[in-house]
Structure 1
Amino acid sequence: MNTVTLPNSSTKICSIAAGEAHTLILTGDGRVYSWGRGILGRLGGGSEHDHHLPVQLRFGSEERSVKIVGIAAGAYHSLAVAVPCLLNKFLDLHPPISSSTSTISEAGDESSLKITVVKAGGMMSMCIDNLGALWMWGNCPGENKEGGVSLVTNFTPTPVWDFHGHIVVQVACGKEHVVALVTAGESFKGVDDLVCYTWGNNNHGQLGLGDKENRPQPEVVKTFDLESPWVIYEVTCGAFHTALLTRNKSPSETFGSTCWTFGLGDNGQLGHGTTLSKLLPEPVKELPQNVHLVSVDCGLFHTCVVSFDGYVWSWGMEKGLGLCPDDSNGGIHSGDALSPYLISCNPYEPKFPKPIQVACGAAHTVIVAQEGYKLWSWGRGRSGVLGNGKTIDSYTPTIVLWPPLMKDFEQEELHNSGEHDKTESEEVSETNDKLSSALNKVKLLQTKLSIVERYASVLHGSIFGEPFDEQNIPLSLQNSDAFDISKEWKNILETLDCTKLSKLEMLYQNMLVAVKDKLMKKKIKEIINEYISSSNVKNE
């Protein structure tokens, strides 16, 4: 009899969200995992400790676990939607009800209000309820006393009344601006019927309205109004720029997607080949034609898109990595990518297998592929942001440790012990404790390894003027445990060119001067101490 292995919903990733320096993932069985920087409690684990690997969050109690259906990450905070999700705070504020749901209001069945979507920006949070109303809280763009726009702090969820009578389908927020896709009428008839609205700070043109005037209330982006030939199916915001994906409304048009960007372009985050900011939406023309783009996301100063075929392009600060210039060590990854830059899965395969979604943090990028069963990350690695157990930056995709080893072991052991007695179950629990202890030791070794790697890189860079790479490891050390340092040093000197030899000579001379100065200072100090000691003896 042939057995069929069904997909494991507990390890399949349905959604991913990235904050300033942390990442969240949501699995098919409603579990949430987090990793990265823990300060301010953004990881949700009850402490401010960093996590270098994915760690499961606990919602509710062991007896009554809570299933999560949505996640979002702001710069320093995280959100999760649970089922069921009845929030009295929302009911107290009397939500805006569209005319299409008036029968619910008349029946007085307010308990039907549920949150269906959550989103987070820099310091603000947003959600959409099952009636299509949009709510905001945190530091949100709003009208100040002088009639201008400024960030207004809302301590409780506040409805956006401008969309009363319409349904908000999708929303995204940057540091100080918001983009929303809203139905033209009272009901949702499909994506062809959506209109794009923006509001908030517009000092870089991130609202796409053709000027730099701030907007306290939502305003239609004319490029994507009802008369537009394009349909928007995804929107996202960086700190001061916006990106979205469209397709043609006409079925007769060529199959394919278009990525549009507008706003701040100082670091090439718009992908238009320049560092100019754009006040109106413009397509990223250097992306291949007739490809279907499945996901787009923005970091602070970089943008990344993924195609259905598995190709990933990034652009913006430091070759689309989002890293600060000082972090790239002036190597091949230095310099902003002003146009789409292809990110290869590995040196032998440019495509990622069956990609689903990409998420960008301030300076790191994570992609979910293999139909949700595999993760890659790259960019800033400090605080364990990449989820690979290390704390160093990675200029190329590195595999995130997923699924967690402990989880796989627990499932297998619990499955095997299901038909046995309690004593064997206790043995499984004891084995799990031992494995947990072993994993903690592995994490400690990984941390030590990261420190050693960092030290070797700094030392190598200071001597030879370039980042350390695996190819710099001497062959004798790679092939055996023996290492003849004098012989290897001789080989290194013979292979160096004149420029590098000159740098070494200068370094050596500087070291000699420093050593001589230090010796002289120590000798003078010893003479003074000796004189003081002898003087004290005479005085006595």
Structure 2
Amino acid sequence: MSAKIVSVAAGEAHTLALTGDGRVFSWGRGTFGRLGTEKEEDELLPVPIALGERKNGQGGRPPKFVGIAAGAYHSLALDDDGSVWSWGYNIYGQLGYGEENSLIPSTVEQLQELGYPDSLADGSSIDGGQVVLKICAVKAGGMMSFAIDNLGALWMWGNCPQQTDTGEFCLSGSLVPLPVWDFHGHTVVKVACGNEHVVAAVSAGETYIAGNLVCYAWGNNSHGQLGLGDKENRSRPAVIPVFNEDSSWVVYEIACGAFHTAVLTHEKTYEKNIESKCWTFGLGENGQLAHGTTISSCKPEPVNGLPHDAFLVSLDCGLFHTAVVSSSGEVWCWGMEKGLGLCPDASYTGTDAGDALYPLRMQSPETNGPNFTGPVQVACGAAHTVLVSGEGYRVWAWGRGRCGVLGSGHTTDSYVPCAVMWPSLDENFKEMEGNINRDVKVRDKDGNIAEMEQKLSAAMEEIEFLRTKLTRMERYANVLHISIFRKTLDERTLPKSLQDSGVFDMRKELENVMDSADNEELVRMEMFHRSMLSSVKDKQMKRKIQEMVKECLLSLSSGRQAW
């Protein structure tokens, strides 16, 4: 479980990953301390967050995190005991404590000290005692933070939409978590927030029953991102008519970009094949609505460029782009810079650098086809996208790579999914370093500290070199394996010829693959070959490859030995 990712969250230029054993890793831009590593340096690879002080006097119990969230420049994590940890930018009080930025995660004391106001605690008791407040979910966006408690109440802090004394809309910073009174008597199930607007999925009745969610929206509505049919701001939650209690669609996922909103629904039906649909509304000038135009929309409209038989399981919005994932592992993106979310100065080098007005399907490096295996979740930052696949054991990223936001060890942009270096090797190296340090203390009885430190430094440099070399070799082996077997390298399914003898019979394995391939698979193999050739710049080398492949194909058809 230490290597399995169960959740990801993306901020403006940083990413958080939550593992099955309750740890949080981060990478990308480090300014304001958003990575939680006690410093502001960028991280090109996933690293574990540091742990700060518990502010509620619970001592040194290590947290086991069960939830994460990322705002533009700050981060949240939820412990299984209900405590919320936060770090990063804090100019509007979005951390829930202090007035300064925090380079290290610390608990939000205000949340743990909150009791239910009288109007929220009516009849709320267990065995005659008042229900203890426990946070069950966290969410962040822009400069604000949200939490949902075990009674289904919603709390917000930071730069949140509020109402002035005269009843007008305003954005006001709050260090103290405030309850959203409008949902008293209902259960808040999900919440999403953009730069200045909020959308919540709330039970129609007092308790949540599958299929009875109603969508509310409030905040800035300058581009129609509230989906209420106009561009008037709202200081209090208002029901989105398309997703009200009488709607024929069941809302099950919501997401907010900077100035647009996306919603996933399925039909209210008991039929076996349930159709899902993605709806978008708000700012559309970069194609982030996928309506085929750059016109903004004040009402939810369906995205018609997605397959009707695809059931969508994950959704997220970036600054000016949107991404969805189907249960079969297909990933679609749309919006700025061909759906990559890149800003215009990224210098996209493709044949068409325009924005995607319709969904574009991403090609999977895993299968060299349209499907990623075992899709889990997609998350969008301002100009990058992260996908967890392989049932949580593989991570892919694409878009802007500056500051290491793609987690690949590099700072270059990527227009196709590239592998995030996961699982993280930092923990193993720290353990090795600790062992070496302990060994130094045991052996160094003559006071030769300087000499041993030099040896330790040299050993760590060698480890770093081997890690880089291992990463390159893993990528190379993976490409070769995909070219033959159409799937990523997995040590659990190594070819039998390699398992038995230690020698890989490439000719035999390739023959087996081609014999069992159908026409569609053969076309994919041809496309892979052409793609490989297109990356070869040397004309003489390209000619040699073509001759080699031609000779191999002739030998396969005649049964002769070619290699």
Q: TM range, normalised to the smaller chain? A: 0.7 to 0.9
Deviation at 1:331, TM superposition (A): 3.0
Q: Does 1:235 align with 2:272?
A: no
Deviation at 1:396, TM superposition (A): 0.5
Q: Which runs of 5+ in 1 are unaligned?
A: 1-8, 447-468, 480-540
* In 2: Cα distance, 1:411 partner to 1:302 partner: 40
Amino acid across the alignment from 2:321: H
* In 1: Cα distance, 2:252 partner to 2:65 partner: 24
Look up the match of 1:471. Answer: 535
Look up the match of 1:531. Answer: none
Q: Deviations over 1:298-317 (max 9, x none)?
A: 00000000001111000000
Counterparts of residues 107-506 of structure 1 (less than 5 Å): 107-109=128-130, 112-190=132-210, 192-252=211-271, 254-329=273-348, 331-346=350-365, 348-407=368-427, 436-440=460-464, 471=535, 473-474=537-538
Q: Is the 8 A contact 2:148 2:154 kept in 1?
A: yes
Q: Deviations over 1:248-271 (max 9, x none)?
A: 111138422100000000000001
Q: Is the 8 A contact 2:159 2:173 kept in 1?
A: yes
Amino acid across the alignment from 1:67: K
Q: Which runs of 5+ in 2 are unaligned?
A: 54-58, 84-107, 444-452, 471-532, 544-563
Deviation at 1:57, TM superposition (A): 1.2
Deviation at 1:244, TM superposition (A): 0.9
Q: Secondary structure at the match of 2:32?
A: helix
Look up the match of 1:524. Answer: none
* In 1: Cα distance, 2:164 partner to 2:280 partner: 29
Identify the structure with the greater helix proportion.
1
Amino acid across the alignment from 1:42: R
Q: Does 1:85 align with 2:104?
A: no
Q: Is the 8 A contact 2:114 2:133 kept in 1?
A: no
* In 1: Cα distance, 2:405 partner to 2:226 partner: 30
Q: Is the 8 A contact 2:115 2:133 kept in 1?
A: no
Amino acid across the alignment from 2:382: A
Q: Does 1:103 align with 2:124?
A: yes
Select which of 15, 28, 40 maps to 2:20.
Answer: 28
**In structure 2, do the counterparts of structure 1 residues 380 and 129 end up closer, same or farther at CA, with 3 Å as the change threshold?**
same
Deviation at 1:337, TM superposition (A): 0.2
Q: Secondary structure at the match of 1:268?
A: coil
* In 1: Cα distance, 2:170 partner to 2:467 partner: 45
**In structure 2, do the counterparts of structure 1 residues 333 and 432 end up closer, same or farther at CA, with 3 Å as the change threshold?**
farther
Amino acid across the alignment from 2:111: F
Q: Is the 8 A contact 1:95 1:133 kept in 2?
A: no
Q: Which moved more, 1:32-41 or 1:143-152?
A: 143-152
* In 2: Cα distance, 1:357 partner to 1:102 partner: 38
**TM-score between the two structures when normalised by the length of structure 2:** 0.72
**In structure 2, do the counterparts of structure 1 residues 113 and 145 end up closer, same or farther at CA, with 3 Å as the change threshold?**
closer
Deviation at 1:354, TM superposition (A): 1.0
* In 2: Cα distance, 1:350 partner to 1:171 partner: 31
Q: RMSD value over aligned CA atoms?
A: 3.3
Amino acid across the alignment from 1:56: P
Q: Secondary structure at the match of 1:102?
A: coil
Deviation at 1:230, TM superposition (A): 0.7
Amino acid across the alignment from 1:118: V
Q: Which moved more, 1:403-412 or 1:211-220?
A: 403-412
* In 1: Cα distance, 2:380 partner to 2:33 partner: 20
**In structure 2, do the counterparts of structure 1 residues 139 and 438 end up closer, same or farther at CA, with 3 Å as the change threshold?**
farther
**In structure 2, do the counterparts of structure 1 residues 52 and 218 end up closer, same or farther at CA, with 3 Å as the change threshold?**
same
Counterparts of residues 498-517 of structure 1 (less than 5 Å): none
Deviation at 1:167, TM superposition (A): 1.0
Amino acid across the alignment from 1:83: D
Look up the match of 2:516. Answer: none
Q: Secondary structure at the match of 1:223?
A: helix
Q: Is the 8 A contact 1:96 1:161 kept in 2?
A: no
Deviation at 1:41, TM superposition (A): 0.5
Identical counterparts, % of pairs: 54
* In 2: Cα distance, 1:101 partner to 1:409 partner: 53
Amino acid across the alignment from 2:124: T
Amino acid across the alignment from 1:221: I
* In 1: Cα distance, 2:466 partner to 2:542 partner: 23
Deviation at 1:375, TM superposition (A): 0.3
